[in-house]
Chains A and B, each alone.
Chain A
Amino acid sequence: MATVEEPRTFIRPDGKEKVTGTGRYTADLVLTGELVAKFRYADHTHARITRIDVTKARALPGVLAVVTHEDVPDVLYGGLVKDRRLFARDTVRFEGDVIAAVAATTAAIAEQAAALIEVDYEPLPVVTDFEAALAGDATLVHPAWEGYDGAESLGRHHNTLGYTAIVKGDADAALASADVVVKGRYVTDPVQGVPIEPRAVIAQWQGDKVTVWTSTQVPYAARGGVAHVLQMPESHVRIIVPLLGGGFGAKCDFHFEGHVAALARAARRPVKLVFSRREEFFAVGHRREGMVIEFESGARSDGTLVARKARLVLDKGAYCGEGGFFSEMAAMHALGPYELENVNIQSSLVYSNNQPSSSIRAPTAPQVCWALEQHMDELASALGMDPIDLRRKTLIETGSVTATGQVLEQIAMKETLEKAVELIGYGQELPEDEAIGVAVGWWPCFAANSGAYVKLNPDGTGTIITGAQENGTGSVMAMPAYVAAELGMQPEDFSMLYQDTDAAPYDMGSCGSQTTFNSGRAVIAAACDLRDQLLDAAAEQLEASRDDLEFVSGSILVKGSPDKSVTIAELAGDGTFHGKGAGELPFAPEALAEGCVGQSGLEAFHAPQLIAHAVRIRVDRDTGVVRVLQVAAAHDCGTILNRMGADGQVYGGVVMGIGQALSERTQLDAEGRHLNAHLTDYKLVTASDAPQIDIAWIETDTLNAGPKGSKGVGEPPCVPTAGAVANAIAHVIGARVHQLPMTPERVWKAGQ
């Protein structure tokens, strides 16, 4: 175990085009003859559609196509449950349901045509209270749920899309005999991903094949989605992602590529869709869901956690999307990185007529962690223990067995806690309006297949061909360095062909913090394959044994005979060298998971990443305004391959976490419509709000980690920040804030 101290600098290969403005994002592209797309959205959040008439819209001069459900195959799509149509047919279920799409010569004409579409409805009772939607007599958001194609393991029932229970021992009996019992109920508002680039999609058909340029985090999922909803071969769909202006999960999943491809086919012209900021808020099928979280924990007087009960209700919104696994993910975060003797966690993912929730950076974790870490501090208080001492006593460590029966290997949970506490100066004397709060969390790695090629060019340079998607983090940009290291070359010697589904093998995309873990493994394997081929060729040419050869500065030398060498350029000019690889998937962790239902593969956390954040804050008691002054963030993400890139994830993730803690929330009206779908009232953290952030990496050597012992990095940094802020607030005001975000009004009220 080692602590990474020195930054290793790294200039991203896509950096120059980004600082000069010459790089092209999707909305920057223009195709000859392209039309503008606009959508007609639902006029109600829950209603039966009785009539759709597009006659007037189609007759408007300048309109080349109007597309509804009648113009595309009648198929349902979605992730673990297929519950959605591209265009609403009988029912609209949330504000952003698309009824029709228009392609016209100008944006103004397209907007006018969309407004001319006549839609009649019979309004239905609107389900916005997702906790009430659990009741047996609640209005069903999907009356036909039983007929949907959906994963058996989800435990679907009525409005419940997913149900997970994690049971170990007898929590009730343990609570009855505990020395101390603490209960709490916490409620969170929905939060948005808010990439600064609103999404854009362009589709162009050539014969029966379509090319789609799109701002997606998951090009291969987009390809599969277009093929499915238009019922065409996947090989006839090519997805190209120009530069991607951030995602944060909000651009995961397939969605609008299908609408635009259908429009372009109908119009027989290229069609471009560019979202307004308002659409980027309300129309996307991705947001961090609101939750109701109830905890009850019991401890012995020495702090040992004898029992934890939890009841979680998650607002799925109108459709499954790729968030079908959230009930289990939330349940795992209700366990948290703690040793627990008895457990009973019940987690329900519930349909409503609110915007669909799906992945936003570390989905479900920040909300549950915020509640759990407050709950742990409350328990410490009831025990008369320092909250850090309670965590020292109860956190997982190497060899711990989790509540689902997973034996944890090589983790540095307690070490990250100690480092964060040290960096923040825990225990120091502070002004009475300041306090320090601490929270911890965890997050799994996701092992998935990926494939890559590395080819050698005649001039001795190379090209990496990967399906990996660069969403801005730099995880793809770091790949030339990994390949160069295998071949004794420089990162600058490698160009990249990426973000084109016709070029590279399948890749899961920029989600699950998995790019280095999986795509990086494939690229390194391809480089090693190429290395083997070059060694064979050099051994023959130099009449030497392979074992005597080494790669040095773009050449292969015979060790001890510096005059016997061949340059990689010379070898490249003679051959058509290309390596390919996928690498071996690291072994999956085992969990007995006895007594657990509703499993979607998360009951054991693969090579978990461990996180401890400590924050120092100031509260203005008169106004409830909280300012975060300092953050210490300590992470175990295994080996850090690119310090500057990894640090960048922590700086950004912590600041996102502070936004979630204090200001970010989507407000909905009584019918589930957005009230603040713009950046004035949806308040992001600005440069002048952002605090000093000190970062520490505790490197562990986990057997089933990714390449070179690395684990994921991108999602964990936003997991425990809100919990740490909450605990600090409670220290200042002497009361708990039970709603997230902890706005000035809520903090002020709690302090009264």
Chain B
Amino acid sequence: MKVAATLSVNGFTYPVELDPGTNLLAAVRDVIGLTGSKEGCDDSECGACMMLLDGQPVNACSYLALQAQGSEITTVEGLADGDTLAPLQVAFLELGGVQCGFCTPGMLISATALLADNPSPTEDDVRIGLSGNLCRCTGYDGIVKAVLSVAGSA
């Protein structure tokens, strides 16, 4: 039995009908059609599905979509300002933080939350803050450098 609900994603409001058991990742990807957030494990292990709920990072694969009603949801598609990339997005590209790109959406979301919480993190702060996001390509080097470079310029 589907339930009518309203989800607010990246500043737009979407009326949706969802099975109560639908997770937030499936609602955003399959019902709303924003596929930037990825499913890597469906078990909160890899972080590829990370979204912000009122600024707080959650693994969307393990969060019920209906519980997100009333919250402002931010996905990777909501990080740029129109055609202008966010400083983190530019830094990821310039410092080798992107290879296959599959972890990138979740990584950018976690990094955004990290910097909002701690605008001047140490390298250890960044590494610990991103340890819920798995990357198999970069060895994390470019990602950590990118986050630190943005923090330095803030």
B is bound to A = yes
Whether B138 lies near A195 (C-beta < 8 A) is: no
The answer to whether the Cβ of B59 comes within 8 Å of any Cβ in the partner chain is no
B39 surroundings in chain A (CB, below 8 A): 27, 198
Tell yes or no: A655 within 8 A of B by CB: yes
Docked-complex contact A16 and B100, CB < 8 angstroms:
no
B101→A245 contact, CB < 8 A = yes
- Determine how close the nearest CB of chain B comes to the CB of A650; give it in whole angstroms: 8
Residue B23 at the A interface, CB < 8 A? no
Are B104 and A19 in contact (CB-based, < 8 A)?
yes
Contacts of A15 in B (CB 8 A): 92-93, 98
Give a binary string over A633-674; 1 marks a CB under 8 Å from any B CB, 0 the rest.
000000000001001101111111000000000000000000
A474-B99 in contact (CB<8A)? yes
In the assembled complex, A32 has its CB within 8 A of some CB on chain B: no
Q: Is the CB of B77 within 8 A of A22?
A: yes
- A687 near B133: Cβ-Cβ < 8 Å: yes
B45: chain A residues at CB < 8 Å are: 277, 678-680
Query: Once the chains are docked, how many angstroms separate the CA of A245 from the CA of B142?
Result: 17
**Contact partners of A197 in chain B: CB under 8 A:** 38, 40, 100, 102
A21 with B46: in contact, given A474-B99, A687-B143, A690-B140 (CB under 8 Å)? no
- Name the one of A12, A16, A245 contacting B102, with C-beta atoms under 8 angstroms: A245
Q: Are B101 and A14 in contact (CB-based, < 8 A)? A: yes
Any chain B CB within 8 A of the CB of A385?
Answer: no
A652 with B35: CB separation less than 8 A: no
Any A CB within 8 A of the CB of B2: no
Chain B: number of interface residues, binned into ranges: 35 or more
| Contact residues, A18-47 vs B (CB, 8 A) | 18-25, 27-28
Asked if A687 and B126 make an inter-chain contact with CB atoms under 8 angstroms apart, the answer reads yes
Q: Are B36 and A22 in contact (CB under 8 A)?
A: yes
A438 at interface, CB cutoff 8 A: no
In B105-154, the 8 Å CB interface with A consists of 105, 108, 124, 126-128, 130-144
Determine the distance from Cα of A23 to Cα of B36 in the docked complex, in whole angstroms: 7
Q: Which of A196, A472, A473 contacts B48 (CB 8 A)?
A: A196
- Encoded as 1 (CB less than 8 Å from any B CB) or 0, chain A from 53 to 84 comes to 00000000000000000000000000000000
Chain A residues with Cβ below 8 Å from B29 are 28
Known: A686-B131, A687-B130. A276 touches B136 (CB 8 A): no
B66 at the interface (CB under 8 A from A): no
A752 is an interface residue with CB less than 8 A from chain B: no
Find the B residue at minimum CB distance from A471: B100
- Tell yes or no: A248 within 8 A of B by CB: yes
Asked if A538 is at the interface (CB within 8 A of a chain B CB), the reply is: no
Determine whether the beta carbon of A678 is less than 8 Å from that of B43: yes
What is the bound-complex CA distance between A191 and B127, given in angstroms? 25
Q: List 10 A-B contacts (CB under 8 A).
A: A19-B93, A20-B36, A27-B39, A196-B40, A196-B102, A196-B103, A277-B40, A474-B99, A651-B140, A680-B45
- Could you list 14 further interchain pairs (A-B, Cβ under 8 angstroms) beyond the known A27-B39, A678-B45? A9-B94, A15-B92, A18-B98, A21-B75, A196-B40, A196-B100, A277-B41, A647-B96, A648-B99, A651-B139, A679-B43, A686-B140, A687-B135, A687-B140
User: Which residue numbers of A lie inside 8 Å of B, CB to CB?
Assistant: 9, 11-12, 14-25, 27-28, 194-198, 243-248, 276-277, 471-474, 644, 647-648, 650-656, 678-680, 684-690, 693
